[in-house]
Structure 1
Amino acid sequence: MSPTRAVLCGYYGMGNAGDEALLVSLLQMLPSSVTPIVLSGNPRATKKQYGVASCDRKSAFAVLNALNQSQVFIWGGGSLMQDSTSIASPIYYAGLMSLAQQRGLTTIAWAQGIGPLNKSGTRWLTKQVLLGCNAISVRDTASAELLQSWQIESIVAPDPVWAMESKTLPELDDISKPKVAVVLRSHPLLSKNRLQTLTKAIKDFQAQTDSHILLIPFQPTQDRAIAKSISTALGHHNSILSINDPKELKGLFQQVKMAIGMRLHSLILAAAEGCNCFALSYDPKVSRLMSEVNLPGYELANLPDDPSLISQAWIELFHAPTKLSAVQIQSLVDRASIHQQLLRKAIPNC
């Protein structure tokens, strides 16, 4: 029997650690009988790093060739169908899903976070392609409720990155001070004034906890400038870490006492390793995570103007017991495996 080929479609090869973690999680959960072809912004790097076939996500010829030689098409996790930044993203992903459906491939929307969908056109487009899917899993209850309002059946389970394997990062052993990770990203809500406020709060927090600040740009092209500005302001006892391997990035948090994060997957990776997390929400997906696993934090739009209020909240969390127990984390990991069960059921001959 010839192997089943599956096209994996997501925001892969674009230098975003969260989306790379989703790809690693999907490859980890994909049945062994399936041969993946990953659509990537950097197919050479994707092939080298993960040992899988890959093609240019922007090459019409390469994408059509991949679809023509495959039996399965998978939207591979994340907030692919959203129009908060532009309508280009939902048009691109819906277009590929529609092409796969027209060619008779088994189509799966996997571990999706649907929305925000602010425009009627993108809501209609999303609904139409989801109606044509053979199987759908979502990573939060708000997405499940939206699909239910459209009378579309889906399975809801925690983000699959909760269950991603991890590797230790021994080079952090040389840092004797307690380590605190800070993951900020470029975004309109992180204005110059808010960044200055957060920087002052980090400096005050560091002084009062005698901690070493790990500044982690999850998408270096967007995040490194912010990390450098904070590093310069702190002056000492800080490091900027760019880690390409998602498993090592997750393992990093085994040695981190606390994480302060804007990016969704910085919080998931940290919490999955038993690290206390403080969220700075710039997007509904982060707010949903805060609500669903009871993470402390601020909506960035409502960030206090007084840095001392922020640093005090961080100090209290720094000295607090672990917010998520080992039992709670294991439950999230176990339930995340529901996404794997969906793949086994939906993909033919598995």
Structure 2
Amino acid sequence: MTRLVISGYYGFGNAGDEAMLAAILEAILEVVPDADITVISGNPKQTAANHGVKAVGRFDMFGILNAIGRCDLLISGGGSLLQDVTSKRSLYYYLSIITLATTFGKRVMLYAQGIGPLRRKRARRIVGQVLNKVTMITVRDERSKAELLDMGVTNVPIQVTADAVLAMHPVDLTIGKRLLKPYQLSGVRYRVGVSVRNWKQSIAYRSELAQALDQLHDELGAQVVFIPMQHPADTKEALAIKALMKSEPVVLERMYNTTELLSLEGCMDVLIGVRLHALVFASLMEKPVVGISYDPKITNFLHMIGQEPVGTLDEISAHTIYAATANFLENTALQQQVVQRINKLRDESLKNAHIALSLLDS
């Protein structure tokens, strides 16, 4: 039996990260059907129940030692685990898990990670030292590879693939339609999904976004639907923007699982998003996206699908948001270009699991 341990930001109720775990598990089990998988989680009971795997607590050091000591491969990822913007503590936590595995002589793969931002010299030096001892690295964009090389990671193969979530397939729209039925949206011309998040008290964008959404409603007959990727934090941000609007948006106010979120976004005509995996989900459902960047990972993903962000949380205008969204709504040829790029990225994402399999066979 092949034993794998997966380390990442799992078990914290973040829809994007839970979708990432589901995508990794699906891809791995497709190539290694007999895999015995243990996930390191912030909520091991919930992770085990939701994903059908073994799980150990994030700070259960005995459980982690036991799992890594018995494993054939540690997978670190996906996501942006190695960065020092949100927390130095989390950076060193993930590095300690990697170091534990390499000390035990285990194979270690960084799986479809986005590297950085890493702003502190000491952090960059330590990341370089730790990662030079792993077995294989796949990253989700060219910028991440460049970052690793700049930090001196030269002893390990580095391959650019794509975000792990992109391996997922579209889901049935019936689920989303059922969830939206109470809001009576069947008669509207366009449905504009919006996914927002609070980020370091950036609030300047709220009034610009509210103005753009009102304009979409007034001029194009669009119904705005706020979709939370992480409840209740995203719902709170959505309500703050709603308070600035003249039109009446729908604000969905509960936690949804991955399938529900994919289906909800698939029921939209376009998605305006701040969160990365909201943009990814909509793209997977073959819907056009308008991205507002707060982090390089947003810009990197948009570049991969041939787009630019319409602005950042600190520098954005209502006119730019409106113009980009209206252009997608009224130009179906642009939508088809995105679909073609997403299909290519899906193939790239599936390579991550095949690379993991090659490490197990070596």
TM-score, L = length of structure 1: 0.91
Give the superposition deviation at 1:7. 1.1
**Secondary structure, counterpart of 1:82 in structure 2:** coil
Conserved? CA contact 2:38–2:67, under 8 Å: yes
| Cα deviation 1:151-177 (Å, max 9, x = unaligned) | 242111121211213432425433312
Aligned mate of 1:282, from 285, 291, 294: 294
Q: Which runs of 5+ in 1 are unaligned?
A: none
2:105 match: secondary structure: coil
How is 1:203-222 mapped onto 2 (pairs within 5 angstroms)?
A: 203-222=214-233
Assess if the C-alpha contact under 8 Å between 1:9 and 1:38 holds in 2: yes
Relative to 1, partners in 2 of residues 1:40 and 1:111: Cα closer, same or farther, differing over 3 Å?
same
AA in 1 matched with 2:295: D
Contact 2:73 2:106 in 1 (8 A): yes
- Indicate the residue corresponding to 2:158 in structure 1: 154
Whether 2:239 is the aligned partner of 1:228: answer yes
Query: Superposition pairs for residues 236-251 of structure 1, below 5 Å?
Result: 236-240=248-252, 242-251=254-263
User: Which whole-Å deviations, capped at 9, do the CAs of 1:12-50 have from their partners, x for residues lacking one?
Assistant: 011111111110111011121211101111111111111
Determine which of 297, 300, 310 is the counterpart of 1:298: 310
Structure-1 separation of matches of 2:331 and 2:122: 46
Secondary structure at the residue paired with 1:337? helix
**1:260·1:280 contact (CA, 8 Å) conserved in 2?**
yes
- In terms of mean alpha carbon deviation, does 168-177 or 7-16 score higher? 168-177
Distance 1:304 1:48 in 2: 41
1:158–1:88 Cα change, 3 Å: same
CA distance in structure 2 between the aligned counterparts of 1:180 and 1:242, rounded to whole angstroms: 19
For 1:27 and 1:313, locate their aligned partners in 2 and report how far apart those are by CA, in whole Å: 35
1:136 matched to which residue of 2? 137
Counterpart Cα distance in 2 of 1:115 and 1:253? 28
Gap regions ≥5 residues in structure 2: none
Which of residues 322, 346, 349 in structure 2 aligns to 1:333?
A: 346
The alpha carbon displacement at 1:309 in A equals 4.6
> RMSD value over aligned CA atoms?
2.1
Q: 1:244 deviation in Å?
A: 3.4
Instruction: Give yes or no for contact 2:231–2:255 (8 Å, CA) kept in 1.
Output: no
Q: What's the CA shift string for 1:72-96, capped at 9, x where partnerless?
A: 2110201100011221121000001
Which residue of structure 2 aligns with residue 186 of structure 1? 198
Residue in 2 that maps onto 1:107: 108
> What does the per-residue CA deviation read over 1:207-233, in whole Å, with 9 as the maximum and x for residues that have no partner?
222222221221214312112233455
For residues 89-139 of structure 1, give each alpha carbon's deviation from its aligned partner in whole angstroms, at most 9, with x where no partner exists.
Answer: 210000010011111221111101111110111111211221111111110
Question: How much does 1:296 deviate?
Answer: 4.1
- CA distance in 1 between partners of 2:16 and 2:192 (Å): 19
The alpha-carbon deviation at position 71 of structure 1 amounts to: 2.5
Amino acid in the other structure paired with 1:332: L
CA deviation digits over 1:296-329, x for unaligned, max 9?
4323155345x34532332223222234344322
- When residues 296 and 258 of structure 1 are mapped into structure 2, their CA distance, relative to the original with a 3 A threshold, is farther
Shift in alpha-carbon separation, 1:97–1:85, aligned structure 2, 3 A: same
- Give percent identity, aligned residues only: 29
Deviation of 1:277 after TM superposition, in Å, equals 0.6
Distance in 1, matches of 2:192 and 2:268, equals: 6
Partner of 1:34: 35
